Structure 1
Amino acid sequence: MLLKCIRAENLKLRHSCIWAACVLIPLIPAVMGTFNYQNNLGVLTREWYSLWTQITLFYSSLFYAPLIGLYCSYLWRLEHLNNNWNVLMTNPVPVRNVFLAKLAVVYWVTLLTQLWIGVLYFLCGKLCGLPGMIPGQILVWLLRGTLAAAAVGTLQLLLSMVIRSFSVPIGISLTGSILGFIISNKGYSMYWPYSVMLLGMNANKSEDSLRHGPIPFLVSLCAFFLLFTGISIWYLKKKDVRA
């Protein structure tokens, strides 16, 4: 049943604007970060690591979470139009499968976005004349950032489910990212889902933020994931059809 729901959600992405956003929007932080790196070579001397700090300064703080918010809002958009919510509520499908299917699709598109930003990072590095290949540690940071998207993805799906507006949840994700950047700098990353994502990406840092161990990061990530998933499924179970 869950696999059928996932296939149904995937059908919504065919010929959608999501793919254009997935490809084009990451180009903006990649260009901005590379430009910043090129103009500060006297200070940024750690080559690949320094380029990473500049690209993630923009990507992780301003674009990553809003992209996830965009994906989530799009998947809930059809349910909020006309009487589609009533159709959803009366379908003989467990509501947990509805939510988990949307989450799986959001995570799949997010994974593609992360792979694309990794490719852009490599291409920008080569355009800047950086030697060799991407350091393996940075690939780990990309993977961690992808895992951390589970916390933000579940929260944004919850927001997009409750808020019928397409753009408001995306705006919340942008605000959450900016607050996350501030909270991270104050050392409270584990207590805010957007900060957890920044921590996973090791955004704007050339030294590993989790060098003392990933356990607190993983515990925080799992806690946010279970919390927002549980609230979302509970809400769907209690929500009735709309008159």
Structure 2
Amino acid sequence: MLKRCIAAENRKLHRSPIWLLFFVMPLISASYGTFNYLQNLEILHERWYSLWTQHTLFYSMLFFPAMVAAYAAYLWRLEHMGHNWNLIMAAPVPPLDLFLAKFCVVFKLALFTQVWELTLFVACGKLFARFPDWPPVELILFGLRGTVGALAVIAAQLLLAMVLRSFAVPIFLAIVGGIVGMLLGSKGYSLFWPYCLMQAGMNANRSEDILAGQGVQFAAASAFWLAAMFVTAYLLLKERDVKA
């Protein structure tokens, strides 16, 4: 059943306007980060690391959460139309399978987004910053670690998009969550808010590794928030019934 649900969710992406968002938003984020780096060369001396701080600052705080929110809201859009919730509740499919299927599809989109962003980062470093070498492997690992932290953001946005019928409100809440995450992260509370995890994982706006020696805690926090979102979704779907 889960495999069929995933296939159904994937079909929603065919010729979807989501792909325009996928290509354009990271371009805007990368352009802004590169411009900011080139305008501050007198204080940014660590080349690839400095460029990384500028690329990841607004990407992890605003652009990525907003994109994930749009992905999630788009996938829940059909279920919120008309009486489609009745079809879901009456279908011979465990409701949590529907949530898990959407999670898998949004995670796939988020993974593609991360790869696209990293590609733009390298391209900007070579073409505009004119770095003669290639980025340190550590930065690629930061990107992979950020993807792990993004799991909690994906689950949180799917939960919000499931509960809220509006398309725009979950996106607004994602931006708020990202900003709050940046504020909490600056105070050292990166593991206590789901939107902090992606920022901390990517080492956003930092040259030194802020998670050095905290790999286990980071993984545990990511697992906790992910589980919390799934349990909440399960309880809400379990109590939801067919409505007239």
Q: Deviations over 1:66-110 (max 9, x none)?
A: 111111100100000011111111110011211100000000000
CA-CA distance at 1:31 after TM superposition: 0.5
Q: What is the rounded CA distance, in whole Å, between the counterparts of 2:242 and 2:211 in structure 1?
A: 45
Count, aligned residues: 243
CA-CA distance at 1:175 after TM superposition: 0.4
What are the residue-to-residue correspondences of 1:17-56 with 2, within 5 Å?
17-56=17-56
Q: Counterpart of 2:206 in structure 1: which amino acid? A: K
What residue number does 1:200 align with? 201
Give SS of 1:24's match. Answer: helix
What residue number does 1:120 align with? 120
Q: Deviations over 1:143-176 (max 9, x none)?
A: 0111111101111111100111111011000000
Report the identity percentage: 47
Q: What is the rounded CA distance, in whole Å, between the counterparts of 1:220 and 1:152 in structure 2?
A: 12
Q: What is the rounded CA distance, in whole Å, between the counterparts of 1:206 and 1:3 in structure 2?
A: 41
Q: What is the rounded CA distance, in whole Å, between the counterparts of 2:210 and 2:126 in structure 1?
A: 26
What residue number does 1:83 align with? 83
Q: What is the rounded CA distance, in whole Å, between the counterparts of 1:171 and 1:112 in structure 2?
A: 22
**Structure 2 gap ranges (5+):** none
TM-score using structure 1 length: 0.98
Q: What is the rounded CA distance, in whole Å, between the counterparts of 2:90 and 2:184 in structure 1?
A: 42
Q: What is the rounded CA distance, in whole Å, between the counterparts of 2:228 and 2:214 in structure 1?
A: 23
Runs of 4+ in 1 over 4 A off after TM superposition: none
What residue number does 1:240 align with? 241
Q: What is the rounded CA distance, in whole Å, between the counterparts of 2:241 and 2:166 in structure 1?
A: 19
Q: What is the rounded CA distance, in whole Å, between the counterparts of 2:242 and 2:71 in structure 1?
A: 24
Q: What is the rounded CA distance, in whole Å, between the counterparts of 1:201 and 1:170 in structure 2?
A: 21
Q: Counterpart of 1:198 in structure 2: which amino acid? A: Q
Once the two structures are overlaid, the 10-residue window that deviates more, 23-32 or 207-216, is: 207-216
What are the residue-to-residue correspondences of 1:97-176 with 2, within 5 Å?
97-127=97-127, 128-176=129-177
CA-CA distance at 1:58 after TM superposition: 1.5
What residue number does 2:16 align with? 16
Q: What is the rounded CA distance, in whole Å, between the counterparts of 1:157 and 1:97 in structure 2?
A: 13
CA-CA distance at 1:242 after TM superposition: 2.2
Give SS of 1:26's match. Answer: helix
**Structure 1 gap ranges (5+):** none
Q: What is the rounded CA distance, in whole Å, between the counterparts of 1:148 and 1:71 in structure 2?
A: 17
Q: What is the rounded CA distance, in whole Å, between the counterparts of 2:29 and 2:133 in structure 1?
A: 23
Q: Counterpart of 1:171 in structure 2: which amino acid? A: F
Q: CA RMSD in A?
A: 0.8
What residue number does 1:213 align with? 214
Q: What is the rounded CA distance, in whole Å, between the counterparts of 1:18 and 1:208 in structure 2?
A: 33
Q: What is the rounded CA distance, in whole Å, between the counterparts of 1:208 and 1:84 in structure 2?
A: 47
What residue number does 1:69 align with? 69
TM-score using structure 2 length: 0.98
